[in-house]
Structures are given as C-alpha cells and as structure tokens.
Amino acid sequence: MRFPVGTFYRWKYQLQGENSQIAWDHRGPALIIPNHVTIPDPFLVSLFFRIPIAWVASDANFRNKTMAFLLSLVGTIPIAKRMGDTSTIKDMMMTLKSGKGVGIFGEGERTWDGNTLPLLPATYKLIRMAKVPVFVPIIKGGYMALPRWANKPRRGPITIEIRQALNSQEAATFSLEQITERMNQVFQHREEEYLTGKGFIYQSTELAQPIELILFRCPQCGGYQTITSRGKTFSCTSCKASWELSHTAVITGITGTTSTTISQWLEQQRQAMASDKSSAPPNEIIFSDDNVDIWTGYRDNPMKPLGKGRVGVSPSGMYILDQFHEWNQIKGMNVVFQNQVDFYVNDTLYSLKLTTTSGYKYQEFFRLI
C-alpha cells in the first residue's frame, strides 16, 4: 500500500521530505501532530514513518458505512470534534501501549488560510499523559495544492518538514507548562511567507473557485454571500468590486480595491462580522441561507433528514426551519469536510449541508458568541 500511494503523491504533488530521516529511524510509540492542511494529510505524513500510525478522525467520517469500514481497516480512531471524548483518549493510550504511533491534528480542524492554528488545550494534556516522543510534521505548499475551500486539487509542490518536538526523556519529564512552551515554538508555519519568492506554480484553470466559501463578506459594501468566483478572479455581485488570486495566496485588487492576503481578508472579515453582530438588534437576522438540507442524529450514528429550508443567525440565536434556538443551547459548532456545518442543540446533532453558499460563516459567527 505504501509504495503505490507514495508513488502517486510524489508524482501529483512533487512530494519531498525535509529532515525526514529522524521519522523513518524512530521505533516504538510516538505522537505525530502535523498541521492540518488537506484531506490526504494522514497518507502524506505516514509515508515518512516506518511505524504504523493510527490516525484520529472526526466521527463525521464514520456516519457513512463504506467510509467507516475503510477507516476501520487502518485502525482509525473516531473523535467527536469540539466535544469531550474520554473513549477516544482510552483508544489512543491503548494504541501507544502496543508500540504504534498515534496521529492527531491538534488544531482540531483543517486550516482555512494555510497558516497554523493554535493547538487545542487538550493536545498539551494528551502529550503530558502519553509520555512518548512527539513529532511535528509541517506540511508546506499543501494549501495552494488543495485549499480546504476548493473543489479540485492543483498540481504543485508539497514539502513535509519533520520536526521533533520532544524526545523520550523530555516527554517523560516535562511539565505541562514546558510542553506548552515547546509545542508553541515548534508548531509554527505561515504559508504565505513560505510561498513568497519560491516561484511555485499550482496548475489550475479554477485557481480562485469557489473562494466565496470562505470570503463570504464583501469588504467594500459589507454584503454577505455576494462574492462569486471564476477562473483566477472573483467579484462582488452587489458593488462590482473584483480581485485576482495568485499562486502565493495573495489577493490583488482589480477595480480600485487594495491588495491583501487570504489570512488578512479573513481577519478583517471576522472583525467586520463582530461589528455587525454588536450593532444589530438581538433578533435581527445577520445572514441566512435558503434551501439548506438539514439532518439530525448523534455521534457516528447514521443521520436522518429533518427537512429542507431556511437557516439564519441573529445576535441572540439561530433559526432552523420554524424553530429558534438560543446560543446557550448550541455547542460544538464546526465545519466538517468542505462545507457541512455540524453542531449540537442540547443532545441532538444537527448537520447543515450547504452547496454554493458558505458554511464557514456559521462557524465564524458562533465563535463570536
């Protein structure tokens, strides 16, 4: 399995390793904590380790019977994202005791802008509990090869740099504070800075499509979901402002708009959304989507359709069909896959399946609460 998979990815993405010998030479249990950039990250990273690795994956992946079967074949460990999950911890500890590696994406989600996200506090606690060596593979170039918001991959170079955060002695003796400090030093990557001056080309006729899944608010007119993309350009249907996306994730204004980067746009968008929320009356809808497929369930059990209709958010809560839920009833909201929004209302899992409009905006709004 390793040979055909490795051959394909080395051809597709010109995959290379940096400092990878330390990973290949390692024997025994280890925690592998990469930055999370693309869907095939577990396969890419596993190519550089000789030890078998059991990857921790969102329980959303197990709701499909075929996918659940395939994941079980490689020892994948399910986890409920953004929720406490003691059974997952037990499975990880058992895997490490058997001498295998455990791979976990400590940020809790794939990056939206190519840069590393803060590690979840539970990641540091897991390291302290496991007391095994920790490797941090940093995936470089993966963001423009397969952005989370894109429908199709782009052929271009990916490099994986292997960093060892903790050796055996450090893993056994470091305090939680020391682990946190070390991991924050090692777990750092800014994709835009990495790509600058490299001259890499990520081949695609749809370089900017569909970037509106993350750039959901026009910075010129403040309209929500007014941006549409085509080829390497995108524009606002309301105020007609337009931009072009480069191979280094730089956004250049075409119609008098200023140049920026994806990460800068997202930060400005986040601030503007916070301002919209604070200035609106409690029950005023900030944004909404029609014809949303809505499903309900629990954990990795098969989902059941609830209906199709309108979903929207206000400063005080969320509208789902003909129901209103206050924000204090909602927990664990996150985007899974590319554009599906999962969250719990009390003990019921809701899943919003959007197509052409952004699911990411719901996650961003929830994090302002």
pLDDT digits (tens, 9 = 90+) for 248-261: 889 999 986 678 99
Instruction: Give the end of a domain, one of 251, 279, 307.
Output: 279
Same domain, 47 and 187: yes
- Residue 163 domain flag: yes
Query: Residue 31: what pLDDT?
Result: 98
Q: Report yes or no: 172 and 95 within 8 Å, Cβ to Cβ.
A: no
User: Which tops the pLDDT comparison, 76 or 218?
Assistant: 218
Compute the chain's Rg from CA coordinates.
Answer: 21
Q: What pTM did the predictor assign? A: 0.90
| Contact between residue 34 and residue 41 where contact means Cβ atoms under 8 Å apart | yes
Do 239 and 351 have their domain in common?
no
Domain co-membership, 28 together with 51: yes
Sheet holding 101-103, edge to edge: 16-18, 159-166, 134-140, 30-32, 101-103, 53-58, 77-79
The residue among 160, 195, 230 that closes a domain is 195
Give yes or no: residues 293 and 155 share one domain: no
Whether 54 is in a domain gets the answer yes
Does some domain include residue 205?
Answer: no
Quick check: 299 pLDDT over 80? no
* pLDDT over 60 (residue 73): no
**Residues 221, 341: one domain?**
no
Check whether residue 7 and residue 150 sit in a common domain: yes
Measured at the CA of 115, the angle between CA 149 and CA 332, to 5 degrees, comes to 65
Among 128, 161, 195, residue at a domain's last position: 195
pLDDT, tens digit, 9 for 90 and up, residues 207-244 = 999 999 999 999 999 999 999 999 999 999 999 999 99
Residue 206 lies in a domain: no
Whether 201 maps to a domain, the answer reads: no
Residues 333-339: what's their mean pLDDT?
91
- Domain assignment of residue 202, yes or no: no
Q: Is residue 322 situated within a structural domain?
A: yes
Say yes or no: 46 and 165 in one domain: yes
Chain-centre distance for alpha carbon 334: 9
The total of structural domains in the chain comes to 3
Rounded distance, CA 280 to CA 282, Å?
A: 6
Residues 191 and 334 in one domain: no
Q: Supply the range of the domain harboring residue 62.
A: 2-195
pLDDT beyond 70 at 266: yes
Pair (337, 360) in one structural domain: yes
Are 159 and 245 part of one and the same domain? Answer: no
Q: How far apart are CA 2 and CA 50, in angstroms?
A: 10
Residue 117 inside a domain? The answer is: yes
Confidence (pLDDT) at 77: 84
CATH number at residue 50: 3.40.1130.10
Do residue 234 and residue 305 come from a single domain?
A: no
What percent of the chain stands above pLDDT 70? Answer: 92
Q: What pLDDT, in 10s, does the model give residues 83-103?
A: 456 888 999 999 999 999 999
